[in-house]
Amino acid sequence: MDYYSLFFASAQSSAEVLLVCLTGYLAAKYGIITPSIQKGISNLLIKILLPCLLFSETAADIDLINLIQLWPVPVFYGIFSIISGLLGVLGGKLLHLSFSETKFIIVGIMFNNITSLLLGLLNGMRNTSAMQFLLQSEDDSPAESMKRGKSYIMLTVLFSTLLRWSFGASLLRKESPDRHLDSSALPTHKDQIMPPNERTLLLSSKKTNNQFIIPQILTKIYNFMNPPLMASIVALFVGTIAPLKNLFFGDQAPLFIIYYTMESMGSITIPLMLILLGAQLWNLPRSKGKEMFASISYVMSCRYLIMPIIGGIMIILTKSLYRNDPMLWFILMMISSGPTAINCINLVQLTGNFEEEMATLLFYSYICLAPLITVIVICFLALVNVNHI
C-alpha cells in the first residue's frame, strides 16, 4: 500500500475544509462578516440554500431500487446512530451533566460529518493508488467505483438529514419553563357542584375532540417541521416515485429548470457553511472552552476512536451478508467515523440554543481533523485490502 499517497490524499481533503473555515475566521476578524451579516447568512443557509442542496443531491441519486438493494446503508446508519446516542447518554452520566447538556452531547456524537468531508476524501483519493483497494473486480474502474461511492454517500445523507433535522432539532430545542395554571382555566364553583350527565359528557368529549386535539396535533407537526426536513421529505417522495422524478430529472423533463436552479444554488452551500463556521468561531464568545474540556474530549474520543473501532469490526464481521464491494465496505466504515457534522451549527442557530458550545466543539474537532481522519482512513483501507476476496 502506498501510504505516502494515501496520507497526502487524506490530509489534502481535510486541509481544504480547514482552509475554508480559516477564510471565514479571518473575514470575521477583520469586520467583513459582522454578527448581523452572520445571522443573515445563517437564515439564508437554513431556509433556502441547504434545502436546495438536499433536494438536488438526494432526489437525483436515489430511487426505490437503490433503497431496496442498498439496505446495508440505512440499516448500519441506524445502528451506528443508536450506538452513538447510547454513548451520549453514558457520557452524560459519567460526566454528571444536566439533562439539557446530555442532549447536546448526544447530538455531538450522533451526527457526524458525512457530506462535505467524505465527498472531499473521495475526491482527494481519486487519482491516488488508494483507489486500487476500492475496486470491485479487475473489470472495475476508479470512475465507476467513485460513482458507486457517491451514491452510497448520498443515500446516507438522505437518512442522516431526516434524522438530524427532526430528532436532532428536537433535542437541541430550548426547554420551556413550567407553565403556571391560569385561574381563568380552573373550574368554577358552579362547574364543580353541577353533576355531570350523559349530555354534558358527550358535549364535553365532542368539544375536546374538535377544538383541542386536532389543533394540538397540527401545532406539534408545525413546530417539528423546518425547511431542511421538508426538503428531505420531498426529495424522498420525488426520488422514489418515478412519475414525479421524470418531471424534474432528464434532458426532456418539463421541470428540469427547477432542478438546475436548485442545484446551482445548492452548490455554494457547503463552502458558505464552512465560511460561516469560521466566522462563528470568531464572533461568538469562547469563554466556555475550559468548562467544556471534559465534554469535548468525550465527544471527540467517541467520534475519532470508539465509533471507528465499532464500525470497522461490525462491517468486517458482516461483509458476507451483502455485496462484495470494497467501496461499500469503506463507506459504511466511514459512516461510523469522523467529527461532528458542520451543519450542526445550523441546528443550534435554528433552535437558538447551545450556539457557543457547538462552535467550541466544532472548533476543536476540526483542529484535530487532519491527523486523526488520516489515521482512520489508512486503517480502514488496510482492513478493506486484507478482507477483499
For residues 380 and 333, the answer to whether their CB atoms sit within 8 Å is yes
* Banded model confidence at residue 288, pLDDT cuts 50, 70, 90: low
pLDDT tens-digit map of 75-112: 999 999 999 999 999 999 999 999 989 999 999 999 99
**Exposure letters 224-259 (e unless 16+ CB within 10 A, then b):** eebbbbebbbbbbebbbeeeebebbbeeeeeeeeeb
Question: How many Å apart are CA 91 and CA 31, to the nearest integer?
Answer: 38
The pLDDT of residue 201 is: 47
pLDDT at residue 191 is higher than 50: no
Q: What is the pLDDT of residue 311?
A: 93
293-299: which pairs have CB atoms within 8 A and are 24 or more residues apart? 294/95, 295/91, 295/95, 295/97, 295/101, 295/104, 295/105, 295/108, 295/361, 296/360, 296/361, 296/364, 296/365, 298/91, 298/94, 298/95, 298/105, 299/91, 299/105, 299/108, 299/109, 299/340, 299/361, 299/365
pLDDT of residue 184: 42
For the full predicted model, state whether its pTM sits above 0.85: no
pLDDT, averaged across the chain = 79
Q: Residue 338: pLDDT above 60? A: yes
Task: Specify the pLDDT at position 83.
Answer: 96
The predicted pLDDT at position 54 comes to 80
For Cα atoms 123, 232, 252, give the angle at the middle one, nearest 5 degrees: 75
pLDDT in tens, 359-389: 888 888 877 877 888 788 888 888 887 776 5
Q: For residues 373 and 356, what is the distance between their CA atoms, to the nearest angstrom?
A: 25
Q: What pLDDT is attached to residue 178?
A: 47
* CA 277 to each of CA 45, 64, 103, 118, 341: distance values in angstroms, whole numbers, following the listed order: 12, 35, 21, 18, 11
* For the ranges 79-83, 124-128, 216-220, 385-389, the one whose mean pLDDT is highest: 79-83
- Return the pLDDT at 38: 85
Identify the H or E element spanning 146: helix 142-163
pLDDT at residue number 42: 82
Give tens-digit pLDDT for 156-178: 887 888 888 888 888 888 766 54
So what's the pLDDT on residue 185?
Answer: 42
Of 149 and 120, which is predicted with more confidence?
149
More confident residue, 318 or 68: 318
pLDDT > 90: percent of the chain: 18
Domains of the chain as residue ranges with CATH: 3-133+148-173+215-387 (1.20.1530.20)
| Structure confidence at residue 361 (pLDDT) | 87
